[in-house]
Structure 1
Amino acid sequence: MVGRAPGTAARFHMTQAHGRTDATERTPDGSAVLGRSAASGRAGAVLHGFLRWWRPAGMWRRGIVVAVLAVLLTLLLSFHSHVPNRIGNLGSLTETFLPWSGLVLPVLLVLAVVRRSATGLIAIVLPFAVWLNLFGGLLTDKEAPGGDLTVLTHNVNAGNLDPDGTARDLVVAHADIVALEELPESQAPRYAHDLAAAYPYHSVQGTVGLWSRYPMHAVRPVDIRMGWTRAMRATVTTPHGPVAVYVAHLPSVRVTFDAGFTAGQRDRAADALGRAIADEPLHSVVLLGDLNGTMNDRSLAAVTSQMRSTQGAAGNGMGFSWPASFPMARIDQIMVKGIEPRSSWTLPRTGSDHLPVAARLQLP
């Protein structure tokens, strides 16, 4: 046997215990450092213990309830357009908040892990894939540089306690065109005064108004079967050509236990607005307003089928705009036809219960 020369900083020694060989490196002061073999052995033991915990008998039979819930969620996401509207407009209500169904996925994942269910884990892949297909694109940043027209829309709220502050917040956004909805007759002059310096051209029709840096003509109300004016249309003469700008505030919807999602009046107004836009002779069209519905809501198809949402085409994130305190849905819309969206975003909260939304557009 050959020993180490005196002065060697450390020596190695092998021990045999319980059929396993551990390597221990000893330093000059006698302390021991666990060697690689022992560390690997412990990691293997941890992995072995996890596999024994995870792979008990019945791992494929466990979590059947989780798997069934995952399949039901997949069916809802895939066939939401078939949920009937005959009972309380349940289909429209489901589609309004459909993006939030994604919150069910981590719950199902945790349940599958706790139940040690391979079946549950595999089943969760289905709704996850469908949800990503529907809404994953909204989570990515689709904003692009450029654009020559900035537009903004804001439901200022009839009960807004600070209309002057709201107007100042909108001016600093430096939009070229500003649309306001839920504009009380008593407050319209205040908004006109506060916005006059930045926007020399404006028109108020009923409870909606339009302010512009560029000249406007052919201004008229749009009949959306409300009995009073909540929509308007104007031709804005921009440096890049005329643009037809529509401003609309569709009727509010309510969720009640006895009637469900009451949206009949809104749906009729959406149909009338869709017909007006379809008959528009100009090529470039912008719709600004509070539609009290999302792009997923089938009841707004008369509008959404012929226009593009700037948030879906050029936004960054879901862009929820209501309620301002905790946004849960994007019911304030900027939609275009014959125009290319370049970017879309929400603005900070004002005195309203809605967030302002804006978009940068590239005119043809």
Structure 2
Amino acid sequence: MLSRAVVIVSVLLAAVLAGHGLLPPLGGATTILESVLPWLGWLVPILLVVALISRSVPAIVAALVPGVVWAAMFGPTALASSPGGQADLRVGTVNVGVVNNSSGLAVKTVAANLDVLAAQELTPGGPAAKQLNAMFDREPATSSTVGLWSRFPIVSWKGIDPGLGWKRGLRAVLRTPKGEVTVYVVHLGSARPGHTEQRDRSLATLRKLIDADTSKRILVLGDLNTATTDRGLSGLTPPLLNAQTEAGDGFGFTWPSSFPVTRPDHILYRGMTAVSAGVAPAMGSDHRAAIAGLRI
């Protein structure tokens, strides 16, 4: 009986890993599943131990199947390392937390070594904005609860509505020594079980904005409320590349900060090359920051 249970669970686990993209939305449950998909790999050693206890060869073989599937899907990411090289643009994005008196400390620990930092859940005139204004000499671009600070001139910017009914996003143009870069800073709709419509609509809106933008270089920074393994992100990658996927060290989970299990915070781009990507602590925030180095 024990060996039979191992075989059944192993087959189901392998099927979910390999075929998660075929699952229906299930009221948003599939989104949550896909957000933590890499963590399903921890079930493999548990199944293997139970199979060994049962002393059943078929159960042991069955327990190895989802392990092989997981390794094929996530092994390259788990073992990846940054290619390295000189970066012309060091960027980051962090959700500082809408109710967070420590948001100034959060951005201070992140922004020190960056050329550009995007922030979400800002309070106008709050600790994060004050700290960043002190660290960056140039005038920032801000729209509602998102903002962009840059050591390079922001030559133009405007607030944008990422499909939420209000301008929780912005589009800015930076003038760097290597040429102009168009930057989108967005905080997309939340994705919770049974409530993904707003997030899905904002993903579609952002894709339309990118498709209509003829800029040679585009950078998207923000909390997209969409994990790297969530099918929703495939609507943006392509046409954009994901810095963590292209040049990151491991999975780059950013939320929750105390023990990150997923990555809703992203750095997407086109017209440039990612040479490094990773995660930085943002003391006081419930998110860690996503950071990357780009060559223009």
TM-score (norm 1): 0.77
Partner of 2:257: 324
Cα deviation 1:90-139 (Å, max 9, x = unaligned): 22222111111101101101011100111112122321121112111211
SS of the residue aligned with 2:263?
coil
Give the distance between the partners of 2:270 and 2:238, measured in 1 at CA: 11
Find the partner of 1:143 among 57, 79, 82: 82
Provide the rounded CA distance (Å) in 2 between the counterparts of 1:212 and 1:277. Answer: 21
Residue 128 (structure 1) aligned to one of 67, 71, 75:
67
Distance 1:349 1:216 in 2: 24
- Deviation of 1:164 after TM superposition, in Å, equals 2.7
1:305 matched to 2:238? The reply is yes
Q: Which residue of 1 aligns with 2:129?
A: 191
Contact 2:94-2:265 within 8 A present in 1 as well: yes
Report what 1:118 is aligned to.
57
2:165 pairs with 1:227? yes
Q: Which residue of 2 is the match for residue 161 of structure 1?
A: 101
* 1:348 equivalent in alignment to 2:242: no
Encode CA deviations 1:204-248: one digit per residue, 9 max, x unaligned.
Answer: 111110011111123112221212111111111111111111111
Aligned equivalents of 1:95 and 1:123: distance in 2? 23
RMSD of aligned alpha carbons: 1.8
Q: How many residues align?
A: 295
Q: 1:164 aligns to what SS in structure 2?
A: helix
Amino acid at match of 1:234: A
Say if 1:296 and 1:171 are closer, same or farther in 2 by CA, change over 3 A: closer
Aligned match of 1:63: 3
Question: Does the Cα contact within 8 Å between 2:108 and 2:131 map onto a contact in 1?
Answer: no
Aligned to 2:19: 79
Q: 3-state DSSP class of the match of 2:140?
A: strand
Q: Do the aligned residues in 2 keep the contact of 1:67 with 1:120 (CA within 8 Å)?
A: yes
Q: Distance in 2 between matches of 1:84 and 1:68?
A: 21
Q: C-alpha offsets along residues 267-298 of structure 1, whole Å, 9 cap, x if unaligned?
A: 10110011101111112111110011112212
Structure 2 unaligned blocks of 5 or more: none
AA aligned to 2:28 is N
Q: Which whole-Å CA distance do the structure 2 matches of 1:251 and 1:114 have between them?
A: 46
For residues 1-364 of structure 1, the aligned pairs below 5 Å read: 63-85=3-25, 87-146=26-85, 147-172=87-112, 174-187=113-126, 191-192=129-130, 194-254=132-192, 260-363=193-296
Instruction: Specify the SS of the correspondent of 1:123.
Output: helix
Task: From the superposition, tell whether residues 117 and 210 of structure 1 become closer, same or farther in structure 2 (CA, over 3 Å).
Answer: same
Task: Judge conservation of contact 2:105–2:282 (CA < 8 Å) in 1.
Answer: no
Kindly name which structure, 1 or 2, has the bigger radius of gyration based on alpha carbons.
1
Higher relative contact order (CA 8 A, sep 6+): 2
Counterparts in 2 of 1:199 and 1:292: CA distance versus 1, 3 Å: farther
* Percentage of identical aligned residues: 35
Give me the TM-score of the superposition, normalised by structure 2: 0.94
CA contact (8 A) 2:104 2:130 kept: no
Q: Aligned partners of 1:177 and 1:242: how far apart in 2?
A: 13
